[in-house]
Amino acid sequence: MKPVFDYRRMSFYQIWIRSFADGNGDGIGDLYGVYDKLEYIHSLGVDGIWFSPIYPSPNADYGYDISDYRNIHPDYGTLEQFRKVLDRAHQMGLKVLLDLVINHTSDEHPWFLESCKGGSPEENPYSDYYIWRDPLFKGEDKLPPNNWYSQFEGLAWEYNEQRGQYYLHVFAKKQPDLNMDNPRVREEVKGIMRFWLEMGVDGFREDVITFISKNMALPNGNPFLPAINGLPFYNNGPNLLDYLQEFRDVAQEYGALQVGEAPFTTTASALRYTTGKHKVLDMMIQFDHMMADCFLTEYVHHRFSLRKLKRAFTKWQNALGKKGWNALYLENHDHPRVISRYGSHKFWKESGKMLAAAYLFQKGTPFIYQGQELGMTNIRLDSIDQYEDVASKHAYHTFFKKEPVSRRLLRIYVSSRDSARTPMQWSRGPYAGFSGVRPWFHVNPNYLRINAESEEKDPDSILHFYRKCLQLRKNSDVLLWGDYHEYFPKSKQLFMYGRRLEGRDEQILVLCSFSRKAIPYRLPKGLDESSAELLLCNYPEKTPHQRGMLRPYETVLLRFIQKSS
């Protein structure tokens, strides 16, 4: 067993490859583009890369419907090119994580095509690789085995004419769920892990990993909560810990990192899986803090609540701060852009920087999503037909259908995953410097103002602020290891938290205004700002921070030395 490398000191950059950089001139991001941008990624001060799926896929869910786990999608390059990227990243000191998507495959995967033929497992070993059930009947009408809803496309069951049975799909119809209770399936997963780990990959981000074990009694869910109907029966299922332990054993042969994505999880579950002698994951990506402006799904949108955001932050910091470790993030491929959600377009630069400080200085390992470090924002399109995301299209055509089109499109604007998937804005050139030809998806028109080339030249840019934050974190034991404490939790405009390391006189205080107006603040009892060292401010030095007041979306880091009595 090899020890896992010290991910706690690290930060990671997530690449959703289709929109990152087009290196071969076909309008689609690829590994050639990634190779060309490795110097840029390294310059941010991150220590590793997480690739969203780069495997062959029909792209029903843009890579999360995999048809071959041991190859590279032709749109993105070849295994040889991936090895070049991997080797170059390692030469630069960057770790590389891949997405491991094992709750489901594509319905075009050879396993599923064989499974559709049916037969006994002895005759057809793929017969029970997926979760199949006979239909129920009401008269002559076929009904699904239960009333579960999928996360993306209506009911969670799809009838297959060839086999004469329904298969379970917790996500899209073209993403049939694997039957992880089948030992052969688990052996397939372990073989996939070894394939990439032997190549030199440093670990995995494991997609919706807490969904892989189901209650095979398949009881009906709550019909009054369709968005989560069935969730209690396929989240944190009865055999999950055992299956994760099998995969953990493989990862530990190579000292590989395992980051589990866990929608709808609890802190108790996270502690169970990431701590103690039965630890099966190193970190968990949870969604609590991404619900501060919505209910269960971003499509059911409401006014942003700072109190809700702070409660989520603090709950996870307190729960995992002592025994476990947090994965810190504000953006990824599954969520709209955070400035458009929790910040302000009017105070774009200020709020973009403030949001960085709000999470990067908490205790945990930060993940930065491509374009987040530039302050990229949501894209507004004129028709649902211009969107690509399967979940967005389903939501638009299923819910709030009595609302006017303009209102439904507004819901898509604030909720669609496509806003995180617009081409990376590299320059003011054609197509934002992403490609020399028309890209696969729409470029956000604000690329003329928001782009890497312009921000490199601006010392006061969001890009340079991210670099400063990562450097500060890396060089401070207090910010790496110190305890977290939130102050003034009832404030609706101010997020203030402190970091302090036991046995040290030093405390670092992070102040974040979520207000469009100047607001007053007071420091916690016992702290005198006149004795504080200003470590960071998101406003230019020519407009210095004023004690006792925060400007719109201002963030300030203050360092205090409190002598022991």
**Angstrom distance (rounded) from CA 15 to CA 138:** 48
Six-digit token string for 241: 């810990």
Strands 141-143 and 519-520: unpaired
Active-site residue, 207 included: yes
Count other C-beta atoms under 10 Å from residue 405's C-beta. 11
Task: Pick the catalytic residue from 61, 107, 206, 261.
Answer: 261
Six-digit token string for 547: 């004690």
CB under 8 Å, gap of 24 or more: what pairs does 156-164 form? Answer: 156/230, 157/133, 159/135, 160/116, 162/116, 162/117, 162/118, 163/115, 163/116, 163/117, 163/118, 163/132, 164/118, 164/134
**Angstrom distance (rounded) from CA 510 to CA 556:** 6
Count other C-beta atoms under 10 Å from residue 315's C-beta. 15
Q: What are phi and psi of 246, to 5 degrees?
A: -60, -45
Count other C-beta atoms under 10 Å from residue 340's C-beta. 19
**Angstrom distance (rounded) from CA 417 to CA 415:** 7
Exposed / middle / buried, residue 188 (Cβ in 10 Å: 0-12, 13-18, 19+)? middle
**Angstrom distance (rounded) from CA 31 to CA 87:** 13
Output the DSSP codes for 117-136: T---TTT-TTTTSB-EEPPE
Task: Give the sheet arrangement for strand 533-537, strand by strand.
Answer: 483-487, 494-500, 506-513, 555-561, 533-537
**Residue for token digits 């910040």?**
343
**Angstrom distance (rounded) from CA 336 to CA 410:** 13
Count other C-beta atoms under 10 Å from residue 122's C-beta. 7
**Angstrom distance (rounded) from CA 134 to CA 242:** 28
Q: How far apart, in Å, are the Cα atoms of 223 and each of 77, 147, 149, 157, 359? A: 45, 7, 9, 15, 37
Residues 6+ apart with CB under 8 A from 468: 536
Six-digit token string for 159: 């009838």
Residue 213: half-sphere exposure toward Cβ, Cα within 13 Å: 14
- The alpha carbon torsion through 395, 396, 397, 398 (nearest 10 deg) reads 40
Residues 6+ apart with CB under 8 A from 296: 227, 228
Active-site residue, 261 included: yes
Distance from the first to the final alpha carbon of the chain: 46
Task: Pick the catalytic residue from 207, 282, 373, 554.
Answer: 207
Exposed / middle / buried, residue 535 (Cβ in 10 Å: 0-12, 13-18, 19+)? middle
Catalytic residues: 207, 261
